[in-house]
Amino acid sequence: MAVPLKAPAATPPDFDAAFRDRLDALFAWRRDVRCFRTTALDPAEYDALLAAACRAPSVGFSQPWRLVRVREAGRRAAIRAIFEAANSEALALQPAERAGLYARLKLAGLDDAPEHLAVFVEPEPETGHGLGRTTMPETIAYSAVLAIHTLWLAAAARGIGVGWVSILDPQAVAQALEVPAQWRLVGYLCIGYPAEASPVPELERAGWEQRRPLAALLVER
């Protein structure tokens, strides 16, 4: 279904200042998208996103990400119900002065996004032979996070939006999708053409949170 990975060129590309400026712009404009147009994705572009995901780094080259393209209406309805249950609980945990804002934030593009991709991790892959994860086994899930992020950036470069839905019971999602018992959900992605573009996160625009200065996040030792 998906295109194989193209063999890269034999000599390293020359990434010039113009490319770096555009890459910085890509980082700045890559949003967590919640409002999608329902237009179907171009199949070649969709395949390019999956190929990009598989270019991500992984601990011990273990490639532990497992991608589930969710297309069946019944499965999507089950995911929606799982989200609604978790969202109600999360809303109840917010103090009253924030709950109103929380309720207004459209937290999922589950209804409109033409593509749903559930990303799982295989926690004990044979691939990689365990290298690099003896003391920090969480790096295996981190590898799946890196695949999601690579896909996300490849999407943004194509004018395609990705929304990462984390307000979900991960075990319920695994059950609804009937994946192998040992797989663990890392992220559930809505993918489609965004209804709007902005260099400012939706949560910042909505007054939920502000960007922190680097000085507050950096120390020296």
Q: Report if residue 141 touches its own copies, rule: CB under 8 A.
A: yes
Q: Report if residue 99 touches its own copies, rule: CB under 8 A.
A: no
Q: Report if residue 114 touches its own copies, rule: CB under 8 A.
A: no
Among 111, 136, 175, 182, binds its own copies (CB under 8 A): 136
Among 94, 103, 106, 124, binds its own copies (CB under 8 A): 94
Q: Report if residue 106 touches its own copies, rule: CB under 8 A.
A: no
Q: Report if residue 4 touches its own copies, rule: CB under 8 A.
A: yes
Among 35, 54, 114, 195, binds its own copies (CB under 8 A): 54
Among 41, 63, 191, 192, binds its own copies (CB under 8 A): 63
Q: Report if residue 40 touches its own copies, rule: CB under 8 A.
A: no
CA 164 to the chain's CA centroid: 5
Site string for its own copies, 168-207 (x = CB under 8 A): xxx------xxx-----xxx---------x-x-x-xx---
For its own copies, the closer CB: 178 or 181: 178
Tokens read off for 142: 């981190």
Determine how many CB atoms are found less than 10 A away from the CB of residue 19: 11
In this structure, the dihedral spanned by the alpha carbons of residues 18, 22, 28 and 30, taken in order and rounded to 10 degrees, is -170
What residues contact residue 21 under an 8 Å CB cut-off, 6+ apart? Answer: none
d(CA 166, CA 38): 21
For its own copies, the closer CB: 2 or 35: 2
Could you say which DSSP state residue 1 is in? Answer: -
What stretch of H or E contains 117?
Answer: strand 115-121
Rounded to whole angstroms, what are the CA distances from 127 to 60, 122, 187?
Answer: 8, 10, 21
